[in-house]
């Protein structure tokens, strides 16, 4: 099956040695996105999460889908206690972005991300018809 790789530099620039997305058939795999290079970098966990989800939604739309096509995300955070403290805001963001078509989600705490001021990274898989 043919694979299409895209870096989406105008949405969420990727590094030189990986693709932001790989599409094979109806499946779209989105590499981890952060708020890197935006005004949200270094700000609150939920401000970063909003920017990150927006980037993912833009990528899915650019590939011909909708956020409801996202079937799986993995959320990496530098502090699960901070994530839990922001639960109401996090849930509101999920309602806003996924409109009830919630993907499966794995939450993982990590010690750090690629740059200072980044506290959340989300990778996603979507099935786009």
Over the stretch 13-43, which tens digit does the pLDDT of each residue have? Answer: 888 889 999 999 999 999 999 999 999 999 9
Domain coordinates in residue numbering, the chain:
3-127
Q: What percent of the chain has pLDDT over 90?
A: 94
98-115: average pLDDT: 96
What is the per-residue pLDDT for 14?
Answer: 83
- The fold of the 3-127 domain, in CATH, is 60s Ribosomal Protein L30; Chain: A; (3.30.1330)
Confidence of residue 76 (pLDDT cuts 50, 70, 90): very high
pLDDT at 13: 83
- Which pLDDT does position 15 carry in this prediction? 81
pLDDT at residue number 28: 98
pLDDT at 1 over 90: no
CA Rg, the chain, in Å? 14
Q: What is the mean pLDDT of the chain?
A: 96
**H helix runs in 33-86, sequence order:** 45-62, 80-85
The pLDDT of residue 38: 97
pTM of the model: 0.95
- Strands (E) located in the chain: 3-6, 21-24, 27-33, 70-77, 104-109, 120-127
Sheet of strand 104-109, all strands in order from the earlier edge strand to the far edge: 3-6, 21-24, 27-33, 120-127, 70-77, 104-109
- Report the C-alpha gap between 90 and 96 in whole angstroms: 10
Say how many CA atoms lie within 13 Å of 106 toward its Cβ: 7
């Amino acid at each position: 099956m043919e694979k299409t790789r895209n870096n989406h530099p105008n949405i969420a620039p990727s590094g030189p040695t990986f693709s932001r997305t790989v599409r094979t058939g109806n499946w779209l795999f989105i590499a981890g996105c952060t708020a890197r290079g935006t005004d949200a970098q270094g700000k609150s966990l939920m401000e970063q999460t909003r920017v990150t989800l927006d980037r993912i939604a833009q990528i899915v739309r650019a590939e011909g889908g909708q956020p409801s096509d996202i079937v799986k995300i993995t959320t990496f955070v530098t502090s699960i206690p901070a994530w839990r403290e922001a639960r109401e805001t996090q849930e509101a963001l999920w309602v806003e972005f996924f409109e009830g078509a919630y993907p499966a989600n794995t939450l993982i705490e990590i010690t750090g991300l690629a740059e200072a001021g980044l506290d959340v990274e989300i990778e996603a898989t979507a099935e786009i018809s």
